[in-house]
Amino acid sequence: MSTSHAPYDEPIPEVAWRNEAPRARAAAMVIFSWREPGWSFLWAIAAALLFAAAAVFSPALLSLTPTVDMIAPIAEARAVLAGEAKLVEHDTPFFLMLLMGADIFVDAPGRVHLIAKALGAVLVLYPLAYLCASRFPAVFSASVTGALAAYAAAPFSGPAELGLAIFLVSILSFVSVSADESKGRAWFEGALGGSGLIALWMMNPVFALVGFAALAACPFLTGRFGLQRYAAAFAVFVLLAIAIEIMAPGMNAARAGAASDVLNMKDVVTGGESALGLGGAAYGALLVIFSAMIFGGRAHRRNWAAALGLMIAGLVAARIAGANALPVFALAAGLACFSVASPFYDGLFRDHDRASVATALTAAGLTLFWTLAIAVHAMGQFSLQYSAAKNAPEDIRTELALVQPGGPTIAKWVEEGRFSTPEARDFFALTPVDQSAMLLEAASRARTLAEQGLDVAFLTGADTACVITTKRDCHADGPAAASNANVVFVPRLDMDPKTAAAKGRSEALLYTEFKMVERTALWDIWVRRDLQSQSNLFPTADASLYR
């Protein structure tokens, strides 16, 4: 066997990956190209406002949540405004304030939630569009702003999803560098981040605590004005916290107590979306960050380290809060791939070959795929919502503006007499559609009684009667409303644990100050013993009910 080597002066054949790829590079440059910040801002706003408008103009809200649970926050918001309840006692005061604002414009419970979702999406999209305009190319800037607005405004999103969206906006200002970095911008963006932290503190303290951990890294990751950014964020948070404490004494102590209640590290493993459901997004984000790590090396370590830190912090917060973490992976991949410190620009706009172009296109493709998947998922929810609202009964669509898939089951069967004993009914749980049918039946009767000057209450966990019957001041809860009412509707079927607890708390009140005058398949109607009622208002064939 010959062991001779080829002469050193023999030409080495050129490998294909060192050649140029003009068409692929042109496509990549479109994705990575920047525009004037003003135009990028406007395009991002336009993309995001589509989803906020979809929430505003939806005829009804599609929900899988029990109807009483959707009405309860609105009743609590009205009770706070009426001085019957305290804001500090609520689990998510910031979301309650959004409901207060939405309640000014509409009355139906579902529409109130839709307007609140739109307001939350607007609070997300404007600061995010401002930050992205100087941090990312125009394509990704518009995509991620629209995706996060869609995520916050989607029908199945709630306070946890809105909190995660605000968290990502805040953390982006703490760990990323702007292309137009100046002292004034650093102060302003720090103030934006601090405002986001106080909103998170008022919504879910877990997000705020993780946000403070990200803020601690701000001076090391955001350039020469990182310290100013840190100081602005911290100062704004402290000032707003003091202002809130003055307006609502005890709020900060209550939020600190809530943080200890919800901070459960077991939820990092068991909470939120399943690992299988997010495995593709997590793998894609890690692949993009790993590619940026290899391609950029130590020279770009701040960028990929910030992206990795954002992904870990966001994932922990999302899992504890129970939110879908898909936006975390999309934004982390976008930070590694598209930020001003990304290494992929060198392989496109400076020395380039097929390998650098292919790497950049792969990273960009994965990032945009998972970013747009958020928007597509929200579009599917809006489409399903429109279809369900179109096919829903007119009374549900107009009076409640809450639609649920499926049709009445247990409540309908009870009315038909299929379950004659409580023991038989206990085998089946009420669906949201059942609850809607029950509440509409009671609301129709309650409005008739209210027209006769009677004060009506429903004995549910919250004061639901003040939301779906006549306009009156809401009480702190159902038992408080019952104690001030002339007529009380008591559900014969337990709608939820809070309703069952309310019935237990009010049992003594009912038997001492009220008498039952009518029983339907779904409701018992009680009136005050000293009330001079008209017999035609409470027809009954069973004299034993009067007791």
| Block mean pLDDT (10 aa), the chain, length 547 | 51 58 80 91 96 94 89 94 90 94 93 96 96 94 97 94 96 90 91 95 90 91 88 96 94 86 58 59 93 88 92 90 92 94 82 79 94 96 91 84 69 51 50 82 89 90 89 89 92 84 91 90 88 63 47
Interior/surface letters 266-302, b for 16+ CB within 10 angstroms, e for the rest: ebeeebbbeeeebeebbebbbbbbebbbebbeeebeb
pLDDT for res 409: 56
H/E stretch holding 495 reads none
pLDDT for res 245: 94
Rounded to a whole number of angstroms, the CA Rg of the chain reads: 29
pLDDT for res 464: 92
Phi first, then psi, for residue 517 (nearest 5°) are -115, -15
CA dist 371 and 333 (Å) reads 9
Q: What residue has token string 């929810």?
A: 381
pLDDT for res 265: 54
| Cα dihedral 304/308/311/316 (nearest 10) | -160
Is-contact 229 186, C-beta < 8 A? yes
CA dist 214 and 196 (Å) reads 13
Our separate counts of H helices and E strands in the chain read 26, 6
What's the whole-model pTM score? 0.88
Cα 263 from chain centre: 19
Burial of 384 (0-12, 13-18, 19+ CB in 10 A): middle
pLDDT for res 275: 47
